[in-house]
């Protein structure tokens, strides 16, 4: 084991985001996966749970109780919402923690309670947590020990909107985010609604006006708009495994053109390795980011004067979850942000 290796533990490794971390970290030159936990599957090799990983040399699954936290530099937490906060609270301090659940994303305890239906169990940690939208909270992430990795829908919505709100190029009212997601966002638990037969060859909207990512989007956008935000967010389920596409309808600020939006976004992300703005009027497709940590953004004029349409795409399991988590680990540890994240998209 190299002396420069980063000793990593993954809590909740039997879900899709856990397996995706294992896939991506296989390309990270310094990552050493030292521990994998899964309560019900403890004792099994990961390859029994995820056959695609059977040939790799990986630690056997253990329970969180059996974890040697002191021997780890970084912990990725892929546990279910609501149970995560108590577990992180109970862990000895030391390792940096990248939490992929929603538990530490909302800063306002009242908003958390309203959204999740119960009081937060670790408010003192929530105060220390930093929101992990890498490109826009980088300085804070650098100093953090607990990073609240953003949701997949929220990343898709926030990346195109933040620079425009920050520069006051769009109106803060009337933003509509019509979002479409692949099924892997629903996780690996057996649910009737996620069966192949129930999903293939069809689409539907769900969680309309009530989806829990909405307050997260609003909190983040408010940080940059400098005022409270209220958006329309409509998620739809797509018959595909991976990928999110956000079609975002915005109203231009006075005197601003769609070209101005494009210029602003292209400038804001010019030096970012993972966020790319397409030529004006070009629009991205989810299949062109599959398996990669990329977010692609397009800007298009509307037929309605004074309005514009933004389209952003990413792979919900990579930039929308495990990829951004590794990006955040790299930031926290002062490494090159791109390490482990150079996979080119898989197409077709």
Instruction: Lay out the sheet containing 61-62: strands in order across.
Output: 61-62, 31-37, 6-11, 74-77, 96-99, 146-148, 130-131
By CB under 8 A, is residue 188 in contact with its own copies?
yes
DSSP 42: T
Tokens of 243: 């990928």
Distance CA 316, CA 182 (A): 8
202 binds its own copies (CB under 8 A): yes
Q: Which is nearer to its own copies, 2 or 197 (CB)?
A: 197
Beta bridge partners of 299: 310
Residues 105-134 binding its own copies (CB under 8 A) are none
Among 183, 250, 252, 261, binds its own copies (CB under 8 A): 183
Q: Which is nearer to its own copies, 69 or 287 (CB)?
A: 287
50-69 binders of its own copies (CB under 8 A): 50-56
Pick out residues in 238-297 that bind its own copies (CB under 8 A): 238-243, 245, 247, 249, 276, 278, 283-291, 294
One residue of 180, 213, 262, 319 binding its own copies per CB under 8 A: 180
Report the distance separating Cα 194 and Cα 241, nearest Å. 10
Closest to its own copies by CB, 36 vs 146, is 36
- Asked about 152 being catalytic, the answer comes back as yes
Footprint (CB under 8 A) of its own copies, residues 3-32: 16, 19, 22-23, 26-27
d(CA 79, CA 85) in angstroms, rounded, equals 9
Single out the segment in contact with its own copies by CB under 8 A; choices: 60-68, 110-118, 123-131, 174-182. 174-182
- Max distance between CA atoms of the chain, in angstroms, equals 63
**Closer to its own copies by Cβ: residue 4 or 197:** 197
Q: Which of 232, 270, 336, 338 forms a contact with its own copies (CB under 8 A)?
A: 232
Per-residue burial over 304-327, b if 16 or more Cβ lie within 10 Å, else e, is: eeebbbbbbbbbbbbbbbbbbbbb
Nearest to 239 by CA among 292, 197, 191: 197
| Region from 45-53, 61-69, 82-90, 94-102 binding its own copies, contact rule CB under 8 A | 45-53
Give yes or no for residue 100 binding its own copies (CB under 8 A). no
The distance of closest approach from Cβ of residue 114 to its own copies in the complex, given in angstroms and rounded to an integer, is 13
Tell which residue, 133, 107, 149, has the closest CA to residue 20: 149
Nearer to its own copies, 126 or 214 (CB): 214
CA atoms within 13 A on the CB side of 79: 25
Whichever of 85 and 155 has its CB closer to its own copies, that residue is 155
Contacts of 106 (CB under 8 A, 6+ apart): 112, 115, 126, 215, 216, 219
Which of positions 299-318 make contact with its own copies (CB under 8 A)?
A: 300-304, 307, 309, 311, 313, 317
- Rounded Cα–Cα distance for residues 219 and 230 (Å): 9
**Residue 5 near residue 30 (C-beta atoms within 8 A):** yes
Q: Of these, 63, 68, 109, 206, which contacts its own copies (CB under 8 A)?
A: 206
Catalytic residue among 78, 152, 220, 295: 152
CA-nearest of 341, 344, 311 to 156 is: 311
Which residue from 65, 204, 255, 334 is in contact with its own copies, where contact means CB under 8 A? 204
Q: Measured from the CB atom, is 104 or 233 closer to its own copies?
A: 233
Smallest distance from the beta carbon of 284 to its own copies, in angstroms? 7
Measured between alpha carbons, how far is 209 from 232 in angstroms, rounded to an integer? 7
Binding residues with its own copies: total (CB under 8 A): 85
Task: Tell me the catalytic residues.
Answer: 152
């Amino acid at each position: 084991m190299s002396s420069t290796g980063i000793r990593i533990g993954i809590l909740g490794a039997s879900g899709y985001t856990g397996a995706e971390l294992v896939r991506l970290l296989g390309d990270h030159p310094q990552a050493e996966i030292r521990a994998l936990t899964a309560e019900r599957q403890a004792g099994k090799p990961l390859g029994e749970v995820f056959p695609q990983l059977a040939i790799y040399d990986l630690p056997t699954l253990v329970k969180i109780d059996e974890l040697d936290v002191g021997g780890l530099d970084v912990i990725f937490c892929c546990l279910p919402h609501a149970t995560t906060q108590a577990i992180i609270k109970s862990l000895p301090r030391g390792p940096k923690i990248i939490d992929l659940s929603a538990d530490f994303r909302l800063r306002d305890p009242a908003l958390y309670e309203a959204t999740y239906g119960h009081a937060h169990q670790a408010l003192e940690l929530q105060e220390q947590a930093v929101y992990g939208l890498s490109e826009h909270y980088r300085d804070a992430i650098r100093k953090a020990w607990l990073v609240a990795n953003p949701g997949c829908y929220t990343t898709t919505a926030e990346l195109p909107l933040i620079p425009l709100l920050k520069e006051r190029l769009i109106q803060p009212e009337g933003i509509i985010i019509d979002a479409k997601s692949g099924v892997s966002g629903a996780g690996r638990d057996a649910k009737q609604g996620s069966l192949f037969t129930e999903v293939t060859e069809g689409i539907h909207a769900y969680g309309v006006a009530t989806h829990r990512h909405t307050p997260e989007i609003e909190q983040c956008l408010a940080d940059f708009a400098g005022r409270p935000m209220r958006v329309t967010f409509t998620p739809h389920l797509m018959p595909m495994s991976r990928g999110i596409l956000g079609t975002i309808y915005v109203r231009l600020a006075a005197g601003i053109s769609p070209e101005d939006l494009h210029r602003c976004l292209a400038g804001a992300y010019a030096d970012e390795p993972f966020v790319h703005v397409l030529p004006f009027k070009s629009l991205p497709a989810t299949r062109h980011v599959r398996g990669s940590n990329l977010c692609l953004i397009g800007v298009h004029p509307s037929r309605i004067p004074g309005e514009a349409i933004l389209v952003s795409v990413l792979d919900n399991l990579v930039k929308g979850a495990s990829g951004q988590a590794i990006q955040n680990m790299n930031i926290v540890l002062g490494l090159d942000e791109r390490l482990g994240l150079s996979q080119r998209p898989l197409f077709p």
